[in-house]
Amino acid sequence: MKTSNHKRGNLLRSNQRVLSVLLLLTTLGACQKDVTEPLVDDGSASTELVSTKSIISIGNILWLENADGSSFLNTMISKQTSTSYGMTASTNQAFNGTRSARFELRDTDPETKSGTRTEISFPTPITNNFWYSYALYMPSAQYKDERYDEVITQWHGGGGITPAIALRVQSGRIYMRTLDGVKTDLGLVEKDKWHTYVYHIIHSSGSSGLIEVWKDGQKIVTRNGANMYALTGDFHLPNWKVGIYKSDWNGTKTTGTNLRVLYFDDIKYGSALASYADMLPTGGASTTTEQPAALVSVTSLNLVNADTEKEVLTISNGSTISLSALKLAKANIRAVTTGTIAKVKFELSGTQSKTYTDERAPYALHGDSGGGNYWYGNWDPPALGTYTLKATPYDSQGIAGTGKTITFTFSR
């Protein structure tokens, strides 16, 4: 049993990063709003968390960390750990690049922020619509199953009570607990392999709230309704925290385990304008897991006679097509697809060029007016010469599938 004096609350107080005055004022402004709904981010205003130079902004990604850079965990976030081993850039496992962020927590660690934790914490935002993602690796030797749970991701709105949304691990399963006490099961803990998680959350204390969760490319949660506390008193818009927090190790308590180790990689924080495709963690050459296979694909590209609405041949790569032999004047090209397609993007280059995204079947380079009445654009007839056509399919989540690229020549 541990002695009662092994904990030292708020040990890292002197080491906490000091946020800018602007950030502090912005945070306080958000906290002091006596309203039930937060400022909605519809894309018309700034989508940044706060106006501070510490934010890394890359398109719709506000912040990212893959542990390979020299400024490991030194931008925007605050580190809540009491030990030198609590957060390290590790080469033991890597999903993207050569390193990942390793989080270690022991039951004898001094408390930080009034709890036994090793977490990174993001500033309090000023809007309510964000995307979040990471790749997660749980080593079986250093993450034994037990009946006492711990938090590995949370969105905390203050008020001195349990977070509005938290991912918890208990008895070999991951679940999401929301402010209404509902536990949503996210499946078994599959150890010793990387898994990707993407979250889209519209934080709201009313009916406009939304939580969407994807694991390994599959959507596993869609939850509508209230998911944050009303902005009154000490409550504020929820700020994101990633790492390990185990309340059953607070004070002098212990459990059947004494060690927790997690690896996170390709951690991303996205604005309201981000998409699933922006946020999905991407594994590099050193990844130790297989990404889910594409569920949609373009299998062939067929030449269409837009006068007769009939397909005349499947275009093979490198082929030469005689327009006179086919008696072809008005022409189009249809993508033959598999899977549930949301759209196909066509990119034509060569003698003539065109980029077009068709969001309705049949998916064709020049589109159609419905029911297979094909349009032909400026292919009346197509200019003679060599072309390259790339067709890329996308599913309903915006994930690109297996495309097809061909080069062909139109001759007389």
Q: Does the reported pTM lie above 0.85?
A: no
Q: Taking Cα atoms as reference points, which of 112, 96, 149 lies closest to residue 281?
A: 96
Furthest CA-CA distance within the chain:
92
Name the β-bridge partners of 388.
349, 407
Q: What is 297-411's CATH superfamily? A: Immunoglobulins (2.60.40.10)
Residue 38 has pLDDT above 70, yes or no: no
Which of 40-54, 59-73, 135-149 holds the top average pLDDT? 135-149
SS3 category, 25: helix
The closest alpha carbon to 117, from 92, 154, 141, 82, belongs to: 82
Confidence class for position 58, pLDDT limits 50, 70, 90: low
Mean pLDDT of 68-76: 86
Distances (CA, A) of 295 to 28, 178, 340, 341, 347: 46, 31, 8, 9, 21
Cα–Cα distance between 405 and 344 in angstroms, integer?
13
CATH number of 11-279: 2.60.120.200
User: Are 226 and 210 in contact, with CB atoms under 8 Å apart?
Assistant: no
Q: What does the alpha-carbon distance between residue 205 and residue 231 come to, in Å, rounded to a whole number?
A: 8
Helix (H) or strand (E) holding 29: helix 21-32
CA distances from 227 to 81, 120, 203 (A): 27, 22, 6
Residues 6+ apart with CB under 8 A from 247: 115, 116, 150, 151
Report pLDDT digits (tens) over 184-199: 999 999 999 999 999 9
Strand runs (DSSP E) across 138-233, as ranges? 150-158, 165-170, 173-178, 183-188, 194-202, 210-215, 218-224
Q: CA 371 to CA 44: how far, in whole Å?
A: 37
Report the share of the chain in percent with pLDDT over 90.
Answer: 74
DSSP label at residue 85: S
End-to-end CA distance of the chain: 89
Lowest mean per-residue pLDDT among 19-28, 80-89, 231-240, 327-336: 19-28
Task: Write down the pLDDT at residue 265.
Answer: 96
| Half-sphere exposure (Cβ direction) of 313: Cα atoms closer than 13 Å | 13
Q: What are phi and psi of 6, to 5 degrees?
A: -80, -15
Q: Are 140 and 191 in contact (CB under 8 A)?
A: yes
Structure token pair of residue 17: 């990063």
Residue with tokens 């077009």: 356
pLDDT for residue 296: 83
Tell me the mean pLDDT in the region 8-34.
Answer: 34
pLDDT digits (tens, 9 = 90+) for 254-276: 999 999 999 999 999 999 999 99
| Residue 173 backbone phi and psi in degrees, to 5 | -130, 155
pLDDT at 369: 87
pLDDT value at 28 more than 50: no
Please tell me the predicted confidence (pLDDT) of residue 316: 94
Q: Is the peptide bond before 125 cis (omega within 30 degrees of 0)?
A: no
Report whether pLDDT(152) > 60: yes
Q: Is the pLDDT of residue 36 over 50?
A: no
Does pLDDT of 287 surpass 50? no
Amino acid found at 52: T
Is-cis flag, bond preceding 292, omega within 30?
A: no
Q: What is the mean pLDDT of residues 188-214?
A: 95
